[in-house]
Amino acid sequence: MIIVFCQPRTGSSLVSKIFVEHGVYCNHESHMTHGYKTYENQSLKRFVRNLWTDYNDGKEKQWGVAWEPRVSDIKQMSLFLSMNHMEDHEPWIHKTIIEFYQLFVPFEPKLVYVRRNRDSAIKSICEKQGDDDYEGAGRVYDLRMALMDKVQGEYGGVFVDTDKLVAGDMDDIRHAFDYCELELNPQIVEQCIDRKLWRH
């Protein structure tokens, strides 16, 4: 199990795509945003979101704050993975926001964290949402990055800087593949990168 922890508009779909194109299982359904596939397991994503919604039960969601799932949530997660025979597809990958980390770490996955230039990420988030609350987006960005640093300090894992990746520096993604005990093919990585999309 490889979990890509991220926040929106930081290039996590690119990182996931690179793993998938190397043969890592994703079970991604066709979901397009801004002209590219998200490369994520939509069924697992919906399942986790439903657990989170049920947990909040109408309360305002706290972005940038770790969700503390109940024991019953962990058990339901285990059942979901078993019923979908995910163990038959190792290694498999899923990307999710960092707030959900406590739902995944009990299963001892490999952890990959995605980061992007702060200003670029915030601008992209605001453009996607159609608002200009750069200050609010910046607060959430900072909370999420601090949470990623905390989780890495406690559980390990590696960061991939997608700005460096798109610029042609493959050191981070190579490190991530080594950590996940996979062999990186630089040609596949280069084929995955669409630099025209990176301005979004």
Name which residue leads in pLDDT, 128 or 44.
44
Query: What percent of the chain clears pLDDT 70, i.e. is strictly above it?
Result: 93
Q: What does the alpha-carbon distance between residue 106 and residue 78 come to, in Å, rounded to a whole number?
A: 10
Distance CA 168, CA 145 (A): 23
CB burial of residue 30 (10 Å; 0-12, 13-18, 19+): exposed
Q: Please, which residues have CB within 8 angstroms of residue 76's CB and are 6 or more apart in sequence?
A: 51
The domains found in the chain, sorted by start residue, are 2-199 (3.40.50.300)
Which tokens hold the place of 42? 């939509």
Quote the pTM value: 0.92
d(CA 144, CA 165): 21
Q: At a CB cut-off of 8 Å and minimum separation 6, what does 90 contact?
A: 1, 25
β-partners of residue 113 are 5, 159
User: Residue 112 belongs to what H/E stretch?
Assistant: strand 110-115
* CA–CA gap between residue 39 and residue 42 (Å, rounded): 9
Question: Residue 62 pLDDT more than 70?
Answer: yes
**Angstrom distance (rounded) from CA 75 to CA 72:** 5
Task: List pLDDT tens digits, range 164-181.
Answer: 999 999 999 999 999 999
Q: What is the mean pLDDT of residues 148-166?
A: 97
